[in-house]
Structure 1
Amino acid sequence: MQYVPTDSTQRQLLRSLSYFSVRLKYVERKSFFGLSGRQVLLLASLCSFDEPPSLGELSEANGASHQNIKQILLKLEKAGYVTIRPDEHDNRALLVEPTDMGRNLAVLYNEKIDEVINHLFEDISEKDAATCVAVVEKLREGLKELL
């Protein structure tokens, strides 16, 4: 006898999340003022820190490897959006700070993202969004256990 999967709500949800993730990554990869989506996302993340983070802190906050983040930062530094300097208290650590140009671009990007979020969530109640966050967090925990 051949196994035929049912089209459960759970399967529909996973397909929808997968589709959404792929499409969202496409939007993120679009160029913004000549920078890649990953560069701009990292710059926006950097600008969310109160104090200049270390390269390690920035890597952890963005869920990416130290090497990957450093490569992106070197390109941003070359373009004048960030400065990278040794930590005065720990010579092994590098601190990253946005320049004025970097901060200005992050503000523009965040305004654009606010427009996208407002559009995407226009017909979604706060309660439904909160329920979705809770479900996705449970799925993430389950996925961690599988990995």
Structure 2
Amino acid sequence: MDRNQLLEGMDNERILFGLFFVFGNRLQAAGDSFYDEITCKQFFLLICLSLFQDEEPTVNQLAEVMGSSHQNVKQIINKLEEKGFLITVSDQTDKRKMRIKQTNKMNDLKVKYEKQEMAFMKHLYSGLTPQQIADTVQVIKMMENNLIKIKENKE
């Protein structure tokens, strides 16, 4: 019996809830097999790090962008630092803050996988129109905001 048959009769909200987990698992498995040097979660951190153009982010800033805990992000940072992809440096004005900085090795990694990443993205979004992608982004942003509100109400 295939999964679609198992899901018959279930409401779409529950199906979508489950599909988020399935999608996350499949995305992580695909990403982990994609890179020789790093995991998919480590690559995601590097993408988030590249979003900060004006100054290197702190661990807390990266955690916020990634939607993850300080502790989980710190573990990923430590592994990437061991591998030489980034370094932590003290903040110029507040020595208690540690800022995360890319190394040249990270730039080399970007160059190495650039064509493969483009092909991966093309395959991932195959069959989807730009409008479908834009609509999906908006829906997921709204759902993320709902999750943030749920968490805030629990605290």
Q: What TM bracket, shorter-length normalisation? A: 0.7 to 0.9
Match of 2:126 among 109, 122, 130: 122
Query: Are 2:88 and 1:84 aligned?
Result: yes
- 3-state SS of 2:126 partner: coil
| Contact persistence 2:28–2:41 (CA under 8 A) | no
Q: Alpha-carbon deviation of 1:99?
A: 0.7
Partners of 2:76 and 2:98 lie apart in 1 by: 14
| Contact persistence 1:55–1:95 (CA under 8 A) | yes
Partners of 1:9 and 1:103 lie apart in 2 by: 42
| Contact persistence 1:82–1:102 (CA under 8 A) | yes
Give the letter for the 1:94 counterpart: M
Q: Alpha-carbon deviation of 1:18?
A: 3.6
- Identical amino acids, percent of aligned pairs: 27
The runs of at least 4 aligned residues of structure 1 exceeding 6 Å deviation read: none
Matches within 5 A, 1:9-88: 9-30=12-33, 32-50=35-53, 51-88=55-92
1:8-32 C-alpha deviation (Å, 9 max, x unpaired): 4444444444432221122233361
User: What RMSD, in angstroms, separates the aligned Cα atoms of the two structures?
Assistant: 2.6
- 3-state SS of 1:90 partner: coil
TM-score (normalised: structure 2): 0.74
